[in-house]
Amino acid sequence: MKVTGLAIVPPPSAADLPKVTPELLASVLARYSRSNEGIATILGKVDIANPDESIDRILKFVDYGHASIGGLTGGLAIALDGISMWLAYKIFEIAQMADGQESSTRYITMDAANLPTPAELGLPEDLAPRWSVVMAKAFAAYHAEYARLDRLGHEQPDLIRLPPDAKPAVVNRIRKNYALDRARYFIPLATRTNLGLVQSSRMWSATVKQLDSLAHPEARAVAALIRTELIKQSPRLMRHSAAEKSYQAQAEQELATSLRLGLERLSTAPLADQVWVRVDRSAPPWLTEEQSVAEALRHRANRYGYQGTMTRRMRVGFAWNNMAIAELRDLNRHRTGHRYTPLIQAGFYLPPEIARAPHQALLDEQAALTRDLMSRGSASYVYSLLLGAQTPFEHSTHGDKFIYEAELRTGMGAHFRYAEHLSAALREFFVQVPEAKSWVVEGIAEPE
In 50-158, alpha helices (H): 51-59, 66-70, 85-94, 118-121, 128-155
Confidence class of residue 62 from pLDDT cuts 50, 70 and 90?
A: very low
Query: What pLDDT, on a 0 to 100 scale, did the predictor assign at position 61?
Result: 39
Cα–Cα distance between 138 and 117 in angstroms, integer?
Answer: 16
CATH 3.30.1360.170 residue ranges of the chain are: 264-349+388-436
Three-class SS state of 379: helix
CATH of domain 264-349+388-436: 3.30.1360.170
Cα–Cα distance between 407 and 426 in angstroms, integer?
Answer: 9
Kindly tell me the sign of the dihedral angle through the C-alpha atoms of 250, 255, 260, 261: positive
Residues 258, 262, 263, 267: what is their CA dihedral angle, to the nearest 10 degrees?
180
Confidence class of residue 63 from pLDDT cuts 50, 70 and 90?
A: very low
Confidence class of residue 64 from pLDDT cuts 50, 70 and 90?
A: very low
Query: What pLDDT, on a 0 to 100 scale, did the predictor assign at position 73?
Result: 67
In angstroms, the Cα distances linking 75 to 5, 232, 405 are 11, 14, 24
Phi, psi of 252 (to 5 degrees): -65, -40
- The number of CA neighbours under 13 Å toward the Cβ of 4 is 10
pLDDT tens profile 347-382:
999 999 999 999 999 999 999 999 999 999 999 999
Has residue 58 got a pLDDT over 80? no
- Across all residues in the chain, what is the average pLDDT? 89
Q: What letter would DSSP give residue 192?
A: E
pLDDT tens profile 182-207:
999 999 999 999 999 899 888 899 99
pLDDT tens profile 387-437:
999 999 999 999 999 999 999 999 887 888 999 999 999 999 999 999 999
Residue 2: closest CA among 96, 116, 106: 116
Query: What pLDDT, on a 0 to 100 scale, did the predictor assign at position 445?
Result: 79
Cα–Cα distance between 312 and 325 in angstroms, integer?
Answer: 29
